Amino acid sequence: MTKQEKIESRIISSTATLVSAMKQMDSLDCKLLLVFKDNLFYSMLSIGDIQRAIIKGVHLEEPVDKVLRENVKLGHEQDLLDDLKELMQKHRIEFLPILDSTGKLKEVLFWDEVFETQQPEIFKLNCPVVIMAGGKGTRLKPVTNIIPKPLIPIGDKPIIELIVDSFVKAGVADFYVSVNYKKEMIKRFFDDIPEKKYKVHYFVEKKPLGTAGSLFLLKEKLNATFFVTNCDILLKQDYAEILDYHYQHKNEITLVGAIKHYAIPYGTLETKAGGQLKSFREKPDVTFLVNAGMYILEPHLLNEIPEDTFFHITDLIEKIKARNGNVGVFPVSEGAWMDIGEWKEYNKTIARMGFGS
């Protein structure tokens, strides 16, 4: 792709919908777009703008210009390159539009061409992460008859190591891993990693306890806000932004929700009284916000998980909601969420990460 093609692929109309903007970002594996109005540069749209809009209740079919910020980071043709680079580094800007004296787009500086292999700095976390790795992975048989689901490879690393690596980059040093099925293989895998920059603590789920029941075993071990993640997902999202949302809204628990698009291969019908046709839509796309399998919890919630009892995360959520506690949802795009819980999704993830045949 030429530089001009790269720029043009990131242009979106101010009248385009938010859902189309998310799809465009996912297709390009980017988190920032150039917004044009009447064929002229108008503003910038980031995935953060869309996420904040969703959190405020803005519908995804609303136009892009409804959620644009008043102040965006821009460069001007008279600016020194060193000043522009400093601006990009300070604000971790994926690409920076450079405007001429009339406000027209003159150039775009992309991070990878300015800094080459240097990556934007990630905000550091200071909280533990719990990885739920005790399941049998029945949807991934027959492979899971031999190795546990957390050790299924994505390229040259197992999924659980990729999860750990993503959090280590964000400054996490303490991991608590729930184990049961083929637990010795998981322990041995981490024991064989030389010079780890993190600690792995195991807690054993002696029998199936649901998606949250085993957290009771951490009651005396965790006394700070912590992440919980399934062992079969990867998330391309700054974890600090999820944590910041969690704190800002004073949530007791925050769920990560992925925007998921489905194409209905049939015309859909809506009827009214008497069976009369009200509306007809030809092969519509529908969009849902689905549970991505990652959470942030406050430590006091461990006191609300019953001992040695089958207990799902949904049961905990219902307990919090029953007392009017805050249960938040942080949205991510479909492309930011990768799932290997079943073969169809596993194969998609492999292809997206460039490991397909």
334 residue type, one letter: E
Q: Which residue in 259, 254, 256, 227 sits closest to 132, CA to CA?
A: 227
Longest CA span, the chain: 72
CA-CA distance, 323 to 253, in Å (whole number)? 13
Tokens of 124: 């550091």
| Whether 283 is catalytic | yes
Gyration radius from the chain CA atoms: 23
Tokens of 23: 């799809």
Q: How many CB atoms lie within 10 A of CB 27?
A: 10
Tokens of 116: 């080459």
Burial of 214: CB neighbours in 10 Å, binned 0-12, 13-18, 19+: buried
**Residues in Cβ contact with 123 at an 8 Å cutoff, skipping those fewer than 6 apart:** 170, 238, 240
CA-CA distance, 352 to 230, in Å (whole number)? 20
Classify 138 in phi/psi space as left (phi over 0), alpha (psi -120 to 50) or beta.
alpha
221 residue type, one letter: K
Q: Which position among 37, 141, 283, 344 bears the catalytic label?
A: 283
- Catalytic residue positions, numbered: 283
